[in-house]
Structure formats: C-alpha cells, structure tokens
Amino acid sequence: MLSALPSRAPELPPRGVRRPSLLGVVGLLVGLASWVVILAPVITLLIELRVGAILAALRAPGALDPAGTSLAASAIALASVVVLGTPLALVIAHHRGWLARLLEAGLLISLLLPPLVVGLLLVFMIGPLTPLGQLLGHLGLSATNTFLALVIAEVYEAVPYYVLAAAAAFGAVDPELELQARLLGESPLRAWRRVVVPNVAGELAAALSIAWARAIGAFGAVVIIAYHPYGLPMQVWVTLNEIGLARALPYALVLLVVALPFPALAYARSRHAAR
Amino acid sequence: MLHAEVGIRRGSLQLRAAFEVPEGTVLGVFGPSGAGKTTLLGAIAGFIDLDDGEIRVDGVTLSTPGHTVPLERRGVGLVRQRPALFGHLSVRGNVGFAPRSTEQEVAALLERFGLTELAHRRPRELSGGEAQRVAIARALAAHPRVLLFDEPMTGLDHGLVDEVARAIREAARTCCVVLVEHDFALLARLADSILVLDRGRQLQLASSALLQRAPSSERVASLLGMVGPLVRGRSRWWCWPEKIRFACASSQGPNAEGVIVGEPRFVRGRFEHRVVVGEVGTLSLAAQSPWPPGPVRLELEDPVAIEEGCEEIAGTHERSEAAQSTEVGA
C-alpha cells in the first residue's frame, strides 16, 4: 500500500531557526523577572515623577548648577583615576610575586571601607589641621568643602573599582601578543598601545563606566568632606531634608540623565570590541 | 648566517649548544621534553639572557652575557604552535603590522602564502593551517634575518601539516630558519641539518641524511625512534622499525641477529606481531607478506629480516661517519 505512505517527508524548520525549549522559555521569563526586580527603583522613579514637578524643580534659580558641578568634578576625578590607577593595574596584572598580591589586598581593603568612613579618614588625612591640609593651605588650596575636596572624595570612592577591573583586563591579555609585536619591530610602549590597548578596550570601557558611576554618584565621603559645592547627590539629599521627597526626585532623574551617556557609550564600545 | 654559542643555566637545566645556520637553510632542533629546545629559541629571540657564549647574525652580535639587544632590534621572528595573531586586526592588518613592511610587500606576501582571498578575514575565521600561514607571512614582513619555529605544526591535521611545512620551506628562501619539531620524520623532511638536544646537552649536529644513517650514540638513536640494540658479536646495531620485514629464515635468511617473531595477535582486521628486538624489548609491527596466509609460515621465535640489510642500521660502536658531526658539552 504505497499510497498510504506520506508522499513528502515532514518539513524541517529552516536552518538557523530553533524551536524554543521549555527550559529556554522558563529561563527567559526568570531573566525578565530578575531585570524588573533589579530595575524596580528606576521604574518607581519614572512612575512617581510628574512632568510638572520636574519642570518646577528645574526652573528654580541655580537648580542645574549641581549637574554642572557633578559633571566637571566627575570628569576630573575620572581622569585622575585613569592616571593614578592604570600603572597600578599594570603592576598588579603583570607581577606574580607577593608585592602584587599585597597591592591587590590593599585595594580590596579600601573597597570594603564604607564611603562614609573614607570621608572621615580623608578629614584626618587632608583636613585643614593636618600637615597635608596645611601644605595645601600654603598653596592657596583647601581640601574641605571645596570643588577640590569633591574631586578628591570622588577619586577615593571610584579608584579601587577601576584598578581591580583594569588589572583583570590587562591580566587576561595573552603576553605572547605583546612579545610578537616587539619581535615585529615595535618598542615596548608602541607594542602596548597597538596590541594591548585594543585588546582590553572593551573591558577598560566597562571599568571606566563603573568608576564613572561611582564618582558621579559618590555621596558617603562627599557628605563628610565636600558638603559644598553641591553635586547632584548632595542636591538630592539637601532638597529631601529641606523641602521634601517630591522635590528631591526630579534631581534623581537629572542625575540619571547626566550620568548615563558615558556608560552607554562605553557599553557600545565594549559590544563593538566583543564582535 | 646565524652563529650561536649558547650557555644558559635555568633551574635544573644547563643548556650548552653551538651551531651555525647559513641563510636559506633550515636547522632542525630535536629532543625530548626538557631538552632545552624552547629555551634555545628564547635565547636567539632575545627574551632569555645568555650566561655564556655569544649569538651573532651576519657578524652583528645580538647576545652576550650581560648584554642582549632588545627584541625589536634583533631582526628575529618567532612562530609558535599558537600563532598569536592580533584578533583586532584583519589578515592584511596582521601581515602588515611590522613598521618596516610596505603595502607592496604585504600584497606580495599575501599572494606568496595564498592569503589574498582571506585578506579581510579576522583571525577567528581562519583554520589552523591558514592562521599559521598568516603568522609566517607576518613574521616575514618584518624582514627577519632569522626565523624561529617552535613546533608550529603540533595539533594540526595531516593536510594542514603539509600546508605549513610548505610555508616553512618557502620562508627559508630569504632567511635562516631554526625549526623545533617533535616529529622526527617531519623534521628530517624539512631540515637541512638537525641538532639533537637532551637535558641541555648537544648530543649531535649533522645533516639530516647523515643523522638518520649514523646516530652518534645509542641515546641519539633511541631519541630518533630507532630500535635496538641488535647484538652481533661485539657490535651493537640499531635500526628503523619500518625497515623490519617478516621473512622466513630458511628461505631468505635473517640478516640481523636478535630480531625474532614474538606472539602474534589479531587487531582491527589485521595481524600484528610483537617483534623482539635485541635488548630493548618488543616492538609491534603490522603483519606483512608472506604471513598469513602464505607459503611460508612464521613460528614463534623465528628470526626475521631487516629489509635493506645491515647498511641501514647504524653502527653506534664506531664513530667513523658520526665523527663528522660535532658534539658539544658531552
């Protein structure tokens, strides 16, 4: 009974099209749920905010000054983090001895310190009555309640995150690549620039994003040593205390909007590097 | 011309070797793990300092104890088992990486190594053989006077091995090549002369043909993969396994004493014999004519023949031919 046999083989899905498994669907749903839970505060912010409240808050005289202060201080802090942190990250990445491990342990300890404690220690370190503070005073500078103090507080809050992430990135680069670049005729510095930097660009961008987020959102150390001039986190805190929650929330949105472009660019760069 | 007298002490390894490699030739370096092969390449490349000796290329000193010319100014290229291509660059970008390379040279190298069609691909899109060809072309673009290969064919399929082997011979047209390779048959095919190292000692340096015909010691013969010794009178003989053929003693007569048939076994559709060779034990060989089946039946402990006779076996007790080779630090 040949006619009883199917005349055509069952159609297979086109190549590259896979039917989702039950486990895959469950995993996707769990992932989406996790995303909602993690972003719940941001979602709450967007739900709670009213356009009128945002406009009223931002139209107040000098309302946007903290945004400028935060951007400027964080940009300088980030540059300082890169200048201070990159050589240290390279040392940690390329040395296997006890010294590198000691340096790494020190950074982990500073990471564990609550930012508020960092601020207190900065007072003891560079406050006006300390030798360093007096030295700054002779130079016409002060590291208490000044723009400089804000930058210093942001640097101390951000730098361990950058160094540890950058060290991990540098350590993951195959040393053979740098060796080959030198055998092909490049000096150590140019070999590093032409081979190592492109290979860690994505990871460095991620490290810088983390450092930027820590710097622009710095509050614990800032509230102790740099109450003035107000950056955005301080503006949120002061507005909350003096006026109320409803007027403070628009500044949180401003903080988000001001802080976002750099990590977004870095994310795009790291995705490009990963391709 | 590469002239090397290398003395290096690193941990338990004490490496001593001396050799010259004329331009356009390939020196093979052979030896077991821990012989110092990679250390030797490191010294020539310049990332391992000499404790003793001197490395010169075309009369220019590159390394002496206490002074090592930096890697970027040595004119030495290195291709390893892992090609270490720059993943952020295309094939063309990799080949043209060296500051000294010009666009015309890069195009010519891409053509010479059959890479023109692949020029815009990224390294991760290449096969193992293609990646090694890119690595060789990249090294040549820097105009090296010496090109070092550290087991560049390990882990490649048979077809790719031939592809890379051709590329190595091609590279040797314009510079001195030093090739470390653990497969002696492949090394003998590619190298003009071969240096045998063992635990840092240079056991023998000879032309590829001479080394196969006359290893300077039983240790060298053993390292090369020869079997023995076959004892005849006061002489001890070694032979290449592929030269052993089964033949009936009564019809042809054995031409080497001490090679006898051991226990046969049937493996994957063919018979294998354990052939007892001299003092070293047994060797598995696929059964060949005339057994089985055939007019002649070999019995256990029958003597078997060496195909080409005693000339194919190195007389390791005499140093007449081997004396032409050099021995350093023995």
**How many cross-chain Cβ pairs, A to B, lie less than 8 Å apart?**
53
Q: What is the pLDDT of residues B229-273, one digit of tens each?
A: 776 666 677 777 777 766 555 544 445 556 666 666 665 555 666
- Is A183 at the interface with chain B, CB within 8 A? yes
Query: Which of B47, B71, B90, B106 has the highest number of chain A CBs within 10 A, making it the mutation to test binding with A?
Result: B71
Q: What is the pLDDT of residue A254?
A: 86
Task: Give the containing element (helix H, strand E) for A90.
Answer: helix A65-94
Nearest by CB to A199, which of B45, B82, B88? Answer: B88
Would the pLDDT of A186 be above 50? yes
Give the pLDDT confidence score for residue B247 in this predicted structure: 58
Contact B76 A179 (CB under 8 A): no
Q: How far apart are CA A126 and CA A123, in angstroms?
A: 6
Could you tell me whether strands B326-328 and B26-30 are parallel, antiparallel, or unpaired per DSSP bridges? unpaired
Q: Are B164 and B129 in contact (CB under 8 A)?
A: yes
pLDDT given for residue A134 in this prediction: 92
Place of tokens 């300077």: B216
* Mean pLDDT within A186-193: 93
**Average pLDDT value over all residues in chain A:** 87
For chain B, what are the domain ranges? 2-216+312-324, 225-307
In this prediction, residue B233 carries a pLDDT of: 66
Report the residue of chain A nearest B143, measured CA to CA: A184
Our CA dihedral for A12, A13, A18, A22, rounded to 10 degrees, sits at: -70
Q: Do A176 and B99 touch (CB under 8 A)?
A: no
Amino acid A195: pLDDT: 93
* Residue A179 near chain B (CB below 8 Å): yes
Using CA coordinates, name the residue in chain B closest to A189. Answer: B72
Contacts of B138 in chain A (CB under 8 A): 180, 184
In chain A, the domains with their CATH numbers are 64-274 (1.10.3720.10)
Q: Which positions in chain A touch B84 (Cβ < 8 Å)? A: 174, 176-177, 179-180
For residue A1, is pLDDT > 60?
Answer: no
Interchain pair A183, B139: CB under 8 A: yes
B180 vs B84: CA distance, rounded Å: 17
How many Å lie between the alpha carbon of A196 and the closest alpha carbon of chain B?
A: 10
Tens-digit pLDDT profile for residues A227-273: 889 999 999 999 899 988 888 888 888 888 888 888 888 878 776 66
- Residue A94: pLDDT above 90? no
Predicted confidence at residue B271, as pLDDT, reads: 61
More confidently predicted of B315 and A12: A12
A91 touches chain B (CB under 8 A): no
Report, as ranges of residue numbers, the positions in chain B whose pLDDT lies below 70.
Answer: 231-235, 245-274, 278-330
DSSP symbols for A220-231: HHHHHH--SS--
Q: What number does CATH give the domain B2-216+312-324?
A: 3.40.50.300
A184, A187, A193, A204: best to mutate for the B interface, most B CBs within 10 A: A184
Q: Minimal Cα–Cα distance from B76 to chain A, Å?
A: 7
- Kindly report, residue by residue over A203-214, the tens digit of the pLDDT: 898 899 999 999
Q: Which residue of A has its CA nearest to B135?
A: A180
Interchain proximity B70–A182, CB inside 8 Å: yes
Tell me whether residues B84 and A177 touch, CB distance under 8 A. Answer: yes
Please give the pLDDT value at position A17.
57
Among candidate residues A95, A97, A150, the one with its CA nearest the CA of residue A126: A150
The complex's ipTM works out to 0.79
CB contact under 8 A, A198 and B74: no
Q: Chain A closest CA to B164's CA: distance in Å?
A: 19
By the 10 Å C-beta count (0-12 exposed, 13-18 middle, 19+ buried), A15 is classed as: exposed
Comparing B302 with A182, the larger pLDDT belongs to: A182
Nearest to B166 by CA among B201, B142, B132: B132
| Residues of chain A contacting B72 with CB distance shorter than 8 Å | 182-187, 191
Task: Pick the residue from chain A with its C-alpha nearest to B87.
Answer: A199
Residues from B contacting A (CB-CB < 8 Å) are 45, 47, 70-72, 74, 76-78, 80, 82, 84, 86-88, 97-100, 138-139, 141-142
Residues in chain B: 330
DSSP codes of every residue in B32-71: -TTSSHHHHHHHHHTSS--SEEEEEETTEEEEETTEE--G
Q: Is B139 helix (H, G, I), strand (E, B) or coil?
A: helix
Q: Measured between CA atoms, how close is A195 to chain B, in angstroms?
A: 7
pLDDT in tens, A149-173: 999 999 999 999 999 999 999 999 9
- The reported pTM is 0.75
Q: Which of A186, A187, A199 sits opposite B87 (nearest CB)?
A: A199
Measure in Å the smallest separation between the Cα of B133 and chain A Cα atoms: 15
Which residue in chain B has the smallest CA separation from A175?
A: B84
Cβ pair B140, A184 in contact under 8 A: no
pLDDT of res. B217: 84
Q: What percent of chain A has pLDDT over 70?
A: 91
Tokens for B282? 């047994």
- Distance from C-alpha of B241 to C-alpha of B230, rounded to nearest angstrom: 12
Residues of A with CB below 8 A from B77's CB? 183-184
Contacts of A179 in chain B (CB under 8 A): 47, 71, 78, 84
Give the model's pLDDT for residue B323: 35
Backbone angles phi, psi at A273, to 5 degrees: -65, -30
Q: Give per-residue pLDDT as tens, A42-89.
A: 888 888 888 887 887 778 788 789 999 999 999 999 999 999 999 999
